[in-house]
A = this chain, B = another copy of it.
């Protein structure tokens, strides 16, 4: 049994460390919660906090990913599809190999838990940034 007690004033879990600019635009923080080694290599679990305007790059997952939005407001968009609004309580089951991005709205933070399924040592393939033009388009 692995047990960790975390708490801060603003969210359920600590905000964690700044996410890499290789994968995120704007201010994004990532807090690991469960590693694959703790759960039979199946997935990792983490909390991602997007400051207003912060977002992932376009990416895919080899087996899929679950997002559980626990705070704030934001966007989820699959390539070629309209963006979906994310709010506290939104659950998304992202299928494998579907190109997409997620992030905060322009004027609100957004916090989600992510369950990222592992396949051959990886759980994501990163692609190009979501441009300011693409981001402006969804928030019109």
In the docked arrangement, what's the CA distance between A93 and B38, Å?
6
Given the known A-B contacts A5-B87, A13-B89, are A33 and B68 also in contact in the complex, defined by CB atoms under 8 Å? yes
Chain A window 6-17, contacts with chain B (Cβ cutoff 8 Å), 1 for yes, 0 for no: 111000111000
Restricting to A109-128, which residues have a CB under 8 Å from any CB of B?
113, 115, 117
Residues on B with C-beta less than 8 A from A39 are 64, 66, 93, 117
Q: How many copies does the complex hold?
A: 2
> By the criterion CB–CB under 8 Å, are B113 and A6 in contact?
no
> By the criterion CB–CB under 8 Å, are A90 and B45 in contact?
no
In the docked arrangement, what's the CA distance between A3 and B43, Å?
21
Residues on B with C-beta less than 8 A from A89 are 5-8, 12-14
